[in-house]
């Protein structure tokens, strides 16, 4: 049989025979399965082919692998891996519950992978589960699997009618009326029109004739685990005299009854799987795996001694037993690591990235959770100033070499380290390398070393098949890390976004550690107060953890309670940290407090980041400094660690930098001194490098500038530099006085000669810096101009692609992206050249700080770099550069240039309209609208907009005219003329908003991998639209019913909305009397709501009952939407009605600036209807009435442009591309953000896709 030689029959079942065979080409044993019938008919062949495709899609350590499908003498066959071992049916039972837990977790993971690929197993039983000789669990025989229909969900949908399904009433009780004779081996395996499977393990609904689902597979796992723990399937424990209907729903004996020793949590999980009601089972195999992992994690980790809350310190592996609230995320990251060699966890400061990795992912991987048969060692490092040295120190024990040799190997050849690691690991071992605080590549390491480290890490993850790399990075530094060569290219695939804890997960994080120590909260409402306080407070999670650590210390030992009075005593969640930190300082002596202040200021960078410094850098030889450091470490405000043989210190958490008022005051007060201190430190370093040369000391002018800094605020070497400078300056002053009173001329001439010689040497050195710096400056300006030209060309190409012929649009879009990539590369080269110039001018100033020409040039370079950052919308870099400019702009002329006042001229028709001005001010992530008053009545000419450049909104008001809003962004020094025609009030139909002609920012300024990969957006650039009308809300069901009622029956049926998607269905149904009802199916709960009645959601506490006629219409295709707008135009209801273009849609949503959401840059749960609005509860997902979330109103007054339902629009990229915008109720913040655009097929009908109408204005 081709390259396969059959050896012997292994077994047979209702669908086929299985043979042991030899693969003669690869010399390995395989299993060959033939279809059962000798001459299979068409349906049997199709079922067999379906089985093969189902298995071939699955690649998972706990699923049997398929090698090939073929046909021999008219008989189809399937070749799979041959698994040596025994089935669970052959395993003596019962088994210890711990072993059953391990088996169950492996099966849940296997099913999770299968369900994600749309595959049901349908016949999970002990005979279909193998324990291999190496102890692994393999799920066999997907011979009963059927591919789920495309519209079905991996979470809970049933197959479509096209699949082989069961027919109600097709099966009678196979063993008579009673239960006698029922056995585990009795199988009823029939054709495609019968119920298929093994009744002892089949879910009640399937035995009743309903369709199988993912939750029926979970029932079978529960039945199997029950049998492993008890020795009998659950249905063999029920009475024998039950009828068939009674038998299939009978509850088995409890697992905790009698002498069974089963952990109650494990018993609860099994009981939930076996629930008669599918909706009461786990929602997915992922959820089941999470629950089982929780049980396993607690036992494996144990409960550590001492305080179960970590305060500001991260959870480590030894604290695994008290690390709660992140179980789904641990499971998700491990799943990613099973499939990918590099995973980067990105999240805001304080979301718990380090704890997730250290206490969740690393110990699970070390126990074998990656499932590839390797034994994994886990290594952790923090990059610091020398990331390659840190990596070498972590890998040296594994590679069997010394740290210096490993570092040299990595530096010489980035790929060699990965190859050496692979050779060291072999086939049995693995390594999981965790790089914490990856942002230090940007904040501490040199650019050269950071780039080298990024390349090494990328090569290690690519070349060492036994290695996995896990990293954690703060979200606000992600774009900088993404710019690193080598590593940056991999980040889009490696990205894992870690969201803040949900309120429910936060509750678990609060109660879990206390419960593990047998403590409770008194009263129970205290937990609600803690959760609410943590959600309200900025950086809530670290503040909560610190407060919990303090509460634990103040717990009531006698009653085993954590009390509300203890929370009041520590100052609440928000005040606990500051109160504790102030208390640590108050216990220090005055000189120690001054030293503590100096130490803390040294441990915070100018960007407000934590810095790590060694003993020597902190001058710990000073007794007061040493005592203050020890006190800060004991008080948990500093963390000490070993770094290259020295002790290094850092602030315990960013929450201290942001939330400790005393430290914030010190940092603010130190703001003016910090540039001077940095210049002193740089000059001191140069003085040390030059061997303490007098020529490098400061003179009187620089010393006068440094007078604002006390020596007690400086490290020892810097203080020595100032003292020596002052001593030499004083000596020079005495020499000058001596000259005045008659020092012999020869001495004066000698001294003058020495000074002239020194001056000549100094001038020559400065000239070198000037020449090299000026050349780099000119090169940077030239490259900046090139980058700007490429940028403009790319934007023109993007805009032209949208109007190209359909067959040319793809090539035009590709050319635009290629030009944009060239522009980005040119901007990088320009910034590199300007950075070189900045460094050279800085070096010159260190040698002679008094040179005004160097200071002027340095200021000019910074202005050029700021302009370059503005061209490419690099806001973070611009902010950082402006901060640097403040130290090199003595007369404030350059800073003034950046804020040059724009001038505005306004014309309105009719004349005399009042013009009001408002400015959008940033307040954190919000964009707060600040009224600036009336500018007067149009026309207005050359008005100075004195607040300066920024985002504004004009509002035009005139009697008898519709109010018109005009958002706009004014650039520095810009002169702009605005002309608007105010439409008559009755010319704008009710429910619509007029958007006047104007300009705005279109696209995304996100990092390239995110912009192109996830958002599919164009780069952020200015675009213009004409005037148009847009619906204030989406089209509702009430409006759509009016459309349907006006159509003939054939078209009415064609355009009636309806779709099934995942576990949801939404269908508009016409009743016999001509009225309408909405059929909603949400997580298997189907409701039919007639017109006039309210739809309701069981999982909500807010908006649980709503008028469905005010829901946005959904489950309509693009042709449906086009038919609707044509009807509006044709019937005169809205002349010129049409779909919105993407440009129009985005302008109406965004106004004029680069905001991520219609009202700002952050989205609170109730600002819109998206996945967080109702707590991500499956029973609460669904639409809201239009206009339910006014908080996210756009600058034009348009509602619901984020979330609720996606909206059909006309693509700006290609004329034949179908696009939906705005996100929907099921999707996350990124998906509902303004830049996100999703390409779909025009005929798609989905429960999350609806419509918003635009129209020409004036109508054509």
For 392-418, the DSSP string reads HHHHHHHHTS-HHHHHHHHHH-HHHHH
Tell me which range, 250-254, 340-344, 968-972, is most confidently predicted by mean pLDDT.
Answer: 968-972
- Whether the Cβ atoms of residue 1128 and residue 1134 lie closer than 8 Å to each other: yes
| 1234-1237-1238 Cα angle (round to 5) | 145
Which residues, at least 6 apart from 276, have a Cβ–Cβ distance to it below 8 Å? 204, 249, 251
Q: Across-strand partners of 21?
A: 6, 30
**Residues of the chain above pLDDT 70, percent:** 85
Q: Across-strand partners of 1002?
A: 1021
Euclidean distance between CA atoms 1144 and 1142, whole angstroms = 5
Over residues 1039-1068, the mean pLDDT reads 89
* DSSP letter assigned to residue 380: E
Q: Is 518 exposed, middle or buried (0-12, 13-18, 19+ CB in 10 A)?
A: exposed
Q: Is the pLDDT of residue 702 over 60?
A: yes
pLDDT at 176: 29
Among 987, 991, 985, residue whose Cα is nearest residue 1031: 991
Count CB neighbours of 585 within 10 A.
20
Euclidean distance between CA atoms 184 and 793, whole angstroms = 72
pLDDT at 70: 78
Distances (CA, A) of 436 to 357, 440, 539, 586, 639: 9, 9, 19, 33, 15
The mean-pLDDT minimum among 100-104, 1063-1067, 1195-1199 falls in 1063-1067
Chain-centroid distance, C-alpha 244: 50
More confident site: 75 or 882: 882
Q: Is the pLDDT of residue 713 over 90?
A: no
Which residues, at least 6 apart from 1014, have a Cβ–Cβ distance to it below 8 Å? 492, 1230, 1236
Chain-centroid distance, C-alpha 170: 48
Q: Is the pLDDT of residue 66 over 70?
A: yes
Q: Is 495 exposed, middle or buried (0-12, 13-18, 19+ CB in 10 A)?
A: buried
**What are the tens digits of pLDDT across the range 571-625?**
777 667 777 777 788 778 878 888 888 888 888 876 677 777 777 777 666 788 8
Taking the CA of residue 611 as centre, how many other CA atoms within 13 Å lie in the half-sphere pointing to its CB? Answer: 17
More confident site: 167 or 1140: 1140
Over residues 942-952, the mean pLDDT reads 94
Among 923, 1000, 1004, 921, residue whose Cα is nearest residue 965: 1000
pLDDT at 100: 92
**3-state secondary structure labels for all residues of 901-935:** CCEEEEEEECCCCEEEEEEEEEECCEEEEEEEEEE
Over residues 446-462, the mean pLDDT reads 86
Phi, psi of 355 (to 5 degrees): -65, -40
pLDDT at 607: 64
Using DSSP bridges, classify how beta strands 429-435 and 467-474 pair: parallel, antiparallel or unpaired: parallel
The mean-pLDDT minimum among 145-149, 450-454, 912-916 falls in 145-149
In the three-class reduction of DSSP (H, G, I as helix; E, B as strand; rest coil), residue 852 is classed as: helix
Euclidean distance between CA atoms 202 and 220, whole angstroms = 6
E strand map for 498-651: 520-522, 561-563, 613-614, 638-643, 646-651
Q: Is the pLDDT of residue 1030 over 90?
A: yes
Q: Is the pLDDT of residue 705 over 90?
A: no
pLDDT at 53: 64
Q: Is the pLDDT of residue 1224 over 90?
A: yes
**3-state secondary structure labels for all residues of 1104-1166:** CEEEHHHCECCCCCHHHHHHHHHHHHHCCCCCCEEECEHHHHHHHHHCCCCCCECCECCCCCC
Q: Is 590 exposed, middle or buried (0-12, 13-18, 19+ CB in 10 A)?
A: exposed
Question: Residues of 1189-1221 as b/e, b for ≥16 C-beta within 10 angstroms?
Answer: beebbbbbebbbbbbbbbbbbbbbbbeebbbbb
Q: How confident is the model at residue 395 (pLDDT cuts 50, 70, 90)?
A: confident
The mean-pLDDT minimum among 409-418, 697-706, 1010-1019, 1222-1231 falls in 409-418
Place of tokens 């002498």: 259
716-740 helix and 673-689 helix, angle to the nearest 10 degrees:
80
**3-state secondary structure labels for all residues of 763-786:** HHHHHHHHHHHHHHHHHHHHHHHH
Over residues 633-661, the mean pLDDT reads 73
- Whether the Cβ atoms of residue 858 and residue 839 lie closer than 8 Å to each other: no
pLDDT at 167: 26
Euclidean distance between CA atoms 248 and 244, whole angstroms = 6
Chain-centroid distance, C-alpha 197: 41
| Annotated binding-site ranges | 33
Count CB neighbours of 1179 within 10 A.
15
pLDDT at 182: 34
More confident site: 810 or 128: 128
pLDDT at 757: 61
What tokens appear for 1097 in the block?
Answer: 């959601």
- Whether the Cβ atoms of residue 296 and residue 97 lie closer than 8 Å to each other: no
DSSP result, 452-518: HHHHHHHHHHHH-TTEEEEEEEEGGGHHHHHTSTTHHHHHHHHEEE-PPPPHHHHHHHHHHHHHHTT
More confident site: 595 or 861: 861
Place of tokens 């199997």: 224
Tell me which range, 317-321, 491-495, 546-550, 1191-1195, is most confidently predicted by mean pLDDT.
Answer: 1191-1195
- Whether the Cβ atoms of residue 849 and residue 683 lie closer than 8 Å to each other: yes
Among 573, 582, 572, 569, residue whose Cα is nearest residue 661: 582
806-847 helix and 745-801 helix, angle to the nearest 10 degrees:
170
Using DSSP bridges, classify how beta strands 1253-1256 and 1028-1031 pair: parallel, antiparallel or unpaired: antiparallel
Chain-centroid distance, C-alpha 50: 36
Count CB neighbours of 316 within 10 A.
17
**Residues of the chain above pLDDT 90, percent:** 34
Q: Across-strand partners of 87?
A: 130
Give the pTM.
0.48
Place of tokens 């993912």: 214
| Annotated binding-site ranges for ATP | 33
What tokens appear for 986 in the block?
Answer: 């009755």
Over residues 931-943, the mean pLDDT reads 94
Mean pLDDT of the chain: 82
Q: Domains of the chain (ranges plus CATH)?
A: 4-81 (3.30.200.20), 87-171+185-294 (1.10.510.10), 326-500 (3.40.50.300), 504-581 (no CATH), 586-736 (no CATH), 773-897 (no CATH), 901-987 (2.60.40), 1037-1053+1110-1256 (3.90.1580.10)
**What are the tens digits of pLDDT across the range 767-803?**
888 888 999 999 999 999 999 999 999 999 998 888 7
Question: Residues of 240-259 as b/e, b for ≥16 C-beta within 10 angstroms?
Answer: eebebeebbebebeebeeee
In the three-class reduction of DSSP (H, G, I as helix; E, B as strand; rest coil), residue 189 is classed as: coil
What tokens appear for 160 in the block?
Answer: 């479509």
Count CB neighbours of 1226 within 10 A.
20
Chain-centroid distance, C-alpha 741: 74
Q: Is the pLDDT of residue 1149 over 70?
A: yes
Place of tokens 């027919």: 167
Euclidean distance between CA atoms 344 and 1229, whole angstroms = 19
Number of DSSP helices (H) and strands (E) in the chain, helices first:
41, 41
- Whether the Cβ atoms of residue 1039 and residue 1033 lie closer than 8 Å to each other: no
Q: How confident is the model at residue 325 (pLDDT cuts 50, 70, 90)?
A: confident
């Amino acid at each position: 049989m081709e390259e396969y030689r059959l050896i012997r029959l292994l077994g047979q079942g209702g669908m086929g025979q299985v043979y042991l065979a030899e693969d003669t080409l690869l010399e390995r044993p395989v299993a060959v399965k033939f279809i059962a019938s000798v001459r299979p008919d068409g349906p049997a062949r199709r079922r067999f082919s379906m089985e093969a495709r189902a298995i071939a899609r699955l690649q998972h350590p706990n699923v049997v692998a398929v090698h090939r499908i073929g046909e021999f003498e008219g008989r189809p066959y399937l070749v799979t891996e041959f698994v040596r071992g025994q089935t669970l049916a052959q395993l003596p039972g019962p088994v210890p519950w711990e072993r059953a837990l391990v088996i169950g977790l492996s099966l849940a993971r296997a099913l999770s992978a299968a369900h994600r690929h749309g595959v049901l197993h349908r016949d999970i039983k002990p005979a279909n589960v193998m324990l291999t000789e190496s102890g692994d669990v393999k799920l066999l025989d997907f011979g009963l699997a059927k591919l789920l229909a495309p519209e079905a969900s991996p979470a809970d949908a049933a197959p479509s009618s096209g699949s082989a399904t069961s027919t109600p009433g097709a099966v009678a009780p196979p063993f008579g009326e009673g239960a006698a004779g029922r056995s585990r081996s009795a199988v009823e395996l029939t054709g495609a029109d019968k119920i298929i499977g093994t009744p002892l393990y089949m879910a009640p609904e399937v035995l009743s004739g309903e369709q199988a689902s993912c939750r029926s597979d979970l029932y079978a796992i529960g039945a199997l685990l029950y049998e492993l723990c008890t020795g009998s399937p659950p249905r063999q424990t029920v009475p024998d005299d039950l009828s068939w209907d009674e038998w299939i729903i009978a509850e088995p004996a409890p697992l905790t009854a009698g002498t069974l020793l089963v952990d109650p949590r494990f018993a609860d999980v099994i009981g939930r799987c076996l629930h008669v009601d599918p909706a009461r089972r786990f929602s997915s195999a992922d959820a089941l795996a999470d629950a089982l992992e929780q049980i396993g994690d607690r036992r494996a980790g144990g409960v550590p001694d001492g305080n179960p809350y970590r305060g500001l310190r991260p959870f480590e592996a030894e604290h695994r037993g008290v690390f709660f609230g992140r179980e789904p995320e641990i499971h998700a990251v491990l799943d990613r690591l099973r499939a990918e060699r590099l995973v980067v966890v990105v999240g805001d400061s304080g979301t718990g990235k380090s704890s997730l990795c250290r206490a969740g992912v690393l110990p699970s991987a070390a126990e074998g959770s990656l499932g590839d048969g390797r034994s994994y060692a886990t290594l952790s490092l923090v990059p610091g100033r020398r990331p390659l040295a840190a990596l070498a120190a972590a890998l040296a024990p594994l590679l069997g070499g010394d740290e210096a040799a490993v570092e040299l190997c990595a530096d010489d050849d980035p790929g060699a380290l990965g190859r050496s690691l692979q050779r060291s690991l072999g086939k049995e071992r693995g390594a999981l390398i965790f790089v914490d605080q990856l942002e230090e590549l940007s904040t501490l390491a040199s650019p050269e070393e950071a780039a080298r480290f990024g390349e090494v890490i990328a090569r290690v993850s690519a070349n060492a098949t036994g290695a996995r790399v896990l990293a954690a990075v703060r979200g606000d530094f992600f774009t900088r890390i993404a710019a690193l060569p080598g590593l940056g290219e991999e980040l889009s695939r490696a990205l894992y976004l870690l969201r803040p804890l949900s309120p429910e997960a936060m509750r678990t994080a609060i109660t879990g550690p206390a419960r593990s120590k047998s403590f409770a909260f008194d009263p129970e409402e205290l937990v609600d107060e803690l959760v609410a306080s943590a959600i309200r407070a900025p950086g809530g999670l670290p503040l909560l953890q610190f407060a919990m650590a303090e509460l634990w210390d103040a717990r009531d030992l006698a009653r085993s309670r954590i009390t509300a009075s203890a929370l009041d005593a520590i100052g609440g969640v928000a005040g606990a940290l500051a109160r504790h930190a102030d208390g640590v300082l108050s216990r220090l002596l005055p000189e120690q407090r001054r030293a503590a202040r100096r130490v803390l200021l040294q441990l915070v960078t100018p960007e407000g980041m934590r810095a790590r410094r060694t003993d020597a850098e902190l001058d710990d030889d000073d007794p007061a400094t040493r005592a203050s450091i020890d006190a800060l470490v004991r008080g948990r405000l500093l963390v000490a660690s070993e770094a290259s043989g020295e002790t290094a210190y850092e602030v315990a958490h960013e929450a201290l930098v942001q939330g400790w008022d005393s430290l914030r005051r010190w940092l603010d007060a130190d703001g003016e001194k910090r540039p001077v201190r940095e210049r002193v430190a740089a000059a001191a370093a140069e003085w040390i490098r030059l061997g303490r040369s007098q020529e490098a000391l400061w003179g009187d002018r620089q010393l006068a500038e440094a007078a604002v800094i006390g020596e007690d605020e400086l490290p020892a070497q810097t203080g020595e530099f100032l003292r020596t400078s002052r001593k030499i300056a004083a000596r020079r002053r005495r020499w000058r006085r001596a000259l005045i009173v008659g020092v012999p001329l020869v001495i004066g001439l000698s001294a003058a000669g020495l000074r002239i010689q020194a001056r000549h040497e100094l001038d020559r050195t400065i000239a070198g810096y000037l020449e090299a710096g000026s050349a780099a400056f000119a090169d940077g300006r030239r490259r900046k101009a090139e980058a700007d030209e490429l940028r403009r060309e790319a934007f023109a190409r993007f805009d032209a692609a949208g109007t190209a012929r359909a067959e040319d649009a793809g090539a035009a879009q590709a050319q635009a992206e290629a030009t944009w990539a060239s522009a980005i590369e040119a901007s990088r080269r320009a910034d590199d050249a300007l950075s070189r110039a900045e460094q050279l001018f800085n070096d010159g100033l260190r040698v002679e700080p008094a040179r005004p020409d160097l200071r002027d040039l340095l200021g000019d370079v910074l202005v050029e770099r700021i302009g370059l950052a503005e061209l490419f919308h690099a806001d973070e870099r611009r902010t950082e550069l402006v901060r640097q400019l403040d130290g090199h702009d003595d007369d404030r002329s350059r800073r003034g240039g950046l804020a040059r006042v724009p001038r505005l001229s306004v014309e309105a028709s009719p004349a005399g309209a009042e013009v009001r001005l408002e400015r959008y001010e940033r307040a954190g992530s919000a964009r707060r609208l600040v009224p600036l008053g009336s500018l007067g009545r149009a026309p207005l000419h050359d008005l100075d907009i004195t607040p300066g450049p920024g985002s504004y909104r004009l509002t035009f008001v005139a009697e008898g005219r519709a109010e018109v809003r005009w958002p706009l962004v004014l650039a520095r020094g810009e002169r702009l003329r605005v002309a608007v025609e105010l439409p008559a009030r009755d010319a704008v139909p009710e429910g619509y908003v007029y958007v006047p002609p104007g300009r705005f920012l279109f696209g995304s300024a996100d990092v390239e991998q995110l912009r192109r990969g996830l958002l599919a957006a164009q780069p952020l650039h200015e675009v213009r639209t004409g005037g148009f009308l847009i619906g204030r809300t989406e089209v509702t069901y009430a409006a759509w019913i009016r459309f349907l009622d006006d159509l003939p029956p054939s078209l009415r049926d064609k355009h009636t909305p309806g779709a099934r998607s995942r576990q949801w269905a939404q269908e508009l149904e016409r009743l016999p009397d001509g009225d309408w009802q909405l059929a909603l199916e949400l997580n298997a709960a189907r409701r039919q709501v007639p017109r006039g009645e309210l739809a309701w959601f069981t999982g909500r506490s807010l908006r649980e009952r709503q008028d469905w006629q005010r829901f946005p219409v959904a489950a309509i295709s693009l042709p449906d939407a086009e038919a609707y707008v044509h009807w509006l135009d044709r019937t005169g209801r809205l002349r010129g009605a049409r779909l919105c273009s993407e440009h129009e849609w985005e302008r109406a949503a965004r106004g004029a600036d680069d905001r991520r959401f219609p009202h700002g840059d952050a989205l609170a749960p109730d600002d819109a209807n998206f996945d967080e609005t109702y707590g991500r509860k499956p029973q609460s997902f669904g639409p809201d009435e239009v206009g339910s979330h006014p908080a996210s109103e756009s600058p034009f007054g348009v509602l619901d442009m984020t979330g609720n339902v996606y909206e059909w629009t006309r693509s700006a990229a290609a004329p034949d591309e179908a696009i939906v915008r705005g996100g929907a109720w099921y999707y996350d913040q990124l998906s509902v953000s303004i830049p996100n655009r999703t390409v779909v097929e025009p005929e798609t009908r989905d429960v999350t896709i609806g419509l918003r109408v635009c129209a020409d204005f004036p109508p054509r």
